[in-house]
Structure formats: C-alpha cells, structure tokens
C-alpha cells in the first residue's frame, strides 16, 4: 500500500454541513471523489441532512485555516459542476463546520490556491482513478494540474446570486477563464478555434473588454473605444454558457493530451444555448408550463 493510499484511509472527524438542495440526494450517490466526500442522513423528523468530509482538513488545527481550505474545496467542486453541467443550477453551499471541539458558521476572506495536504508529487497513480464521471476526474486532477485547478476555481466564482456585484465580477471572471483556456491550448498544442467557433470567441471577448457594450461590467475602464463592435454577446447568461462550453471542450481535449485520459461522453455545442444557465427550465418551457395552467 502506498503512502497516498494510506492517506485516504484517514478517519474523518470534521463535518461540513451543506445547505439543503433537492438535487443533493442523487449527487451524494454519484460523486466518488476521495478528496471531498458527500453524504446524507436524516434527523429525528426524517428531514434530510447533507454533509461533506475531506481528508485535506483533518490534519489542520487552526479554525481559520480549516474554513479557508473548506471554502476553497467547495469552490473547486462547484467549478467542476458548472463546467460539466453547463449551468449554475447545482451549486452546493457549505453553511457550518463541526468537529474537534468547535462548531462554526463557515466564512473566509480569501481562498487557498492549493487546498490539499501534500504537494502534487505525493499523489501517485494509485490515488488517481480515471474511470469516474468527468466532474470527478477534473476535481481529482486539481491536486496535480495547475491549469485545471485554476480553471475550476474561476468557474466556481461565476455567480449572479447577489446582485450587481456578482454580475460585475462574473464578466471579468469569464475573460480570465478565456485567458486560462487560451494558455492551456498553447501549452498542449490545441487549436482554440476548434473548441467553439472563432466568431463566438470574438463576440465574447469584445463584450468583456468594452464599456460601450456591458458598461461597468466591462473588464476594462473607460478608454474611448469609438463605435462599439457589432456581433457581440452582451447577455450575461449567454456569455456564461459560451465560456462554460469552451471550457468543457477544452478540458476534454486537455486531459487527453496532458494526462492520456479519454472522455467517452460528447462535447458541447455552443449553438445549443437554450437559456438554462440560471434555471433548470428554458423560457420557452416556462411559457409552456404557464399556458398549461389555463388549459
């Protein structure tokens, strides 16, 4: 048994309490990562309780460090869900943390950019299982791959839940994701224009960069651009879908070239955008439901 295999047999004493969400029951049964374990139980009222555990927080003693690492792991987890699911619907929120004599609401002012116990060399092939679904494979690879880790961190930051601050942050984050994909493509000899059409990439970056299109949401400040370009993606939901699709297609190519892992599923088509990034149903589906109420 390798040191890595022994590490993952560590008993867990710290419990991360997750906010209730109706999709979590299925997720706890399908998520197979040993770096972040998801589980469920019921209380005395037979209400579901969802929890997470991680060996990467068990050896920490400082509560602030535990919370920072926990929030960082959750950010990576959500990034893996957004990129593979092409929407923001399955976000998991960690509320509280229990164990080793403490009980605290989770909060952190910064993330830990490498939220794992050991350096990448520690995690040998015995601890990297690549027969799992794509989201688990990507999450597990963040221990040893800077490009994947950066991409999932950035994807996990995408949000529109808290109003205009999140909207402003998201436009800048989308461009950072594009930058990261572009860098990864150059590292592995991937043509970025084969991932999604070149015109879509230009339409996205033009909007992100230009205050005359997205106003204060722009990545840049006021620079006097002159006439704004045409054929841009100015709708945030469409922009998020475009970047997530670009990211998913890139990661499928990247893990094949960099890690010799073949993904057997299908790539996404950016033309399939149907307004389900923020909702599980498209506007057309909602309209259909509404009409059905009156039939």
Nearest to 274 by CA among 17, 81, 6, 86: 86
Q: Mean pLDDT per 10-residue run, the chain (295 residues)?
A: 84 91 88 93 87 95 94 97 93 91 89 93 82 92 97 92 72 91 97 95 80 60 62 86 97 96 93 82 56 47
- Contact call for residues 76 and 83 (beta carbons, < 8 A): no
Q: How many Cβ atoms from other residues are within 10 Å of residue 235's Cβ? A: 15
Phi and psi, residue 251, nearest 5°: -65, -35
Neighbour-count burial of 84, counting CB atoms closer than 10 A to its CB (0-12 exposed, 13-18 middle, 19+ buried):
buried
Q: How far apart are CA 46 and CA 28, in angstroms?
A: 17
Position 231 scores a pLDDT of 81
Pseudo-torsion of CA 120, 126, 131, 133, nearest 10°? Answer: -40
pTM, to two decimals:
0.90
Position 230 scores a pLDDT of 74
């Amino acid at each position: 048994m390798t040191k890595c295999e022994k590490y993952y047999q560590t008993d867990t004493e710290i419990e991360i309490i997750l906010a209730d969400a109706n999709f979590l029951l299925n997720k706890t049964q399908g998520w197979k990562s040993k770096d972040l374990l998801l589980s469920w139980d019921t209380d005395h009222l037979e209400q579901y309780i969802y929890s997470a555990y991680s060996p990467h927080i068990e050896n920490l003693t400082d509560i602030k460090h535990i919370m920072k690492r926990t929030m960082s792991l959750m950010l990576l987890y959500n990034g893996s869900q957004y990129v593979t699911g092409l929407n923001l619907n399955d976000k998991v929120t960690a509320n509280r943390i229990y164990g080793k004599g403490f009980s605290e609401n989770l909060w952190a002012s910064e993330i830990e950019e490498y939220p794992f116990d050991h350096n990448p060399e520690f995690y040998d092939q015995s601890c990297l299982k690549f027969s799992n679904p794509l989201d688990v494979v990507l999450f597990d690879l963040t221990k040893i791959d800077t490009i994947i880790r950066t991409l999932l961190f950035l994807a996990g930051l995408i949000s529109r839940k808290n109003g205009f601050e999140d909207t402003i942050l998201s436009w800048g984050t989308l461009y950072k994701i594009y930058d990261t994909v572009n860098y990864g493509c150059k590292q592995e000899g991937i043509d970025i224009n084969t991932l999604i059409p070149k015109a879509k990439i230009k339409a996205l970056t033009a909007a992100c960069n230009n205050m005359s299109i997205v106003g204060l949401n722009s990545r840049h400040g006021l620079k006097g651009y002159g006439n704004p370009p045409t054929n841009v993606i100015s709708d945030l939901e469409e922009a998020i879908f475009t970047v997530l699709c670009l990211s998913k297609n890139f990661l499928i190519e990247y893990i094949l070239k960099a890690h010799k892992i073949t993904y057997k599923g299908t790539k996404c088509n950016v033309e399939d955008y149907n307004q389900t990034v923020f909702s599980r149903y498209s506007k057309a589906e909602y309209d259909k439901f509404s009409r059905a109420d009156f039939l």
